[in-house]
Amino acid sequence: MALLDDHRLLVTGVLTDDSLAFAIARRALEEGAAVALSSFGRGMSLTRRTARKLAEVGEVGEVIELDVTDPAQVRAAAVTLEGRFGRLDGLVHAIGYAPPSCLGSGMFVAPFEDVATALHASTYSLAALVGALRPLLARSSAPGGASVVALDFDGSRAYPQYDWMGVAKAALESLGRYLAREVGPDRVRVNMLAAGPLRSIAAKSIPGFSLFEDTWADRAPLGWDVNDTSVVGDAAVALLSPLLRATTGAILHVDGGAHAMG
Ligand SMILES: NC(=O)c1ccc[n+]([C@@H]2O[C@H](COP(=O)([O-])OP(=O)(O)OC[C@H]3O[C@@H](n4cnc5c(N)ncnc54)[C@H](O)[C@@H]3O)[C@@H](O)[C@H]2O)c1
C-alpha cells in the first residue's frame, strides 16, 4: 500500500517544474494520491503546461483558477473541489508574493499598501483557504484526518534582503499554530514546512538570492543543494500522510539543518 492511497489533495503553487509544489505534487501522485492543481491569472497557461508533465505520473485534471486574494475565487474553488472529490484529505499552500519594494530595500521603503499586499497573498491566504475548505477537510476519510501543509522559510530570524517577506513568513508560522488550534477538533492538522533556499521563479525574484545560495551549504551540517526540490517533495508527503497524524502546529525544517546552527 502506498503512503497516500485514496488521498484527495489540492496542491496550490505549481508554476514550473522548479516550483516546490511541483516536487510535492509529483511525489504525492507517486504515492497514490489524486491531485488537483490551482493557479491564477497569467500563471494559468504556465501551470497547464507544467501539469502535462505531472499527468505522466498520475491524473491531475483541469487546473482550477484560484487567486487566493479574491474571495469569490476561493469560494468557487471550494465548490469545484466538492464536485470533483467530495472531500479533501490534504491541502498544500505553496503561495508567496510580495511587491518589489518589500524585498531587498530594508524595512523603511515599502508603503503599507505593498506590505498589505504581501501579507494578503502570503499569509492571510492560508486562513482564507483553510476556512473555505474546512467542510471538505473535515470530511476526510484518511486515517488521522486531513493535513494542511504550508511552505515556509524560517521566520525565527532576520535574513539579509528577505525583509517584509520574512515578516510575512513569521506571521504565517504563528497563523499555522492558531489554525491548528481551531481546526484540530475536526481532525485537521496544520503544519509548516520550512525549506532552505531553492531556485524557483519566486526565489529568483528575491534580490541577493545568491547570498543565500552561497552561504546555506556552508551553514548546513548536512549540506544543501539549491537545485534539489525532491527533499521538499519527500518531507511534504510525510506530513500529508497518516504517518504524522499526531503532529500539528509544528514547523518541520527541511534545510540541511542550517536553522539550528550558531
Ligand atoms: N524557493 C525557495 O527558496 C523557498 C524556500 C522556502 C519557502 N518557499 C516558499 O514556497 C512557496 C512556493 O514558492 P516557490 O519557491 O516554489 O516559487 P514559485 O514561483 O514556483 O511559486 C510561487 C507560487 O505562488 C503563486 N501565487 C502568488 N500569488 C498568488 C495569488 N494571489 N493567488 C494564488 N497563487 C499565487 C504563484 O502562482 C506561484 O505558483 C512560497 O510560499 C515560498 O515562499 C520557497
pLDDT tens-digit readout, 223-249:
999 999 999 999 999 999 999 999 999
40 lines ligand 1 (CB under 6 A): yes
Pick the CATH number of 8-254 from 1.10.1060.10, 2.60.40.3620, 3.40.50.720, 1.10.3720.10: 3.40.50.720
244 lines ligand 1 (CB under 6 A): no
**Domain positions in the chain:** 8-254
At 143-196, the pLDDT tens digits run 999 999 999 999 999 999 999 999 999 999 999 999 999 999 999 999 999 999
Atom of ligand 1 at shortest range from CA of 152: 7
121 lines ligand 1 (CB under 6 A): yes
Question: What span, in angstroms and rounded, lies between the C-alpha atoms of 240 and 208?
Answer: 32
Give, using CA atoms, the residue closest to atom 28 of ligand 1. 97
What confidence score (pLDDT) does residue 262 get?
A: 87
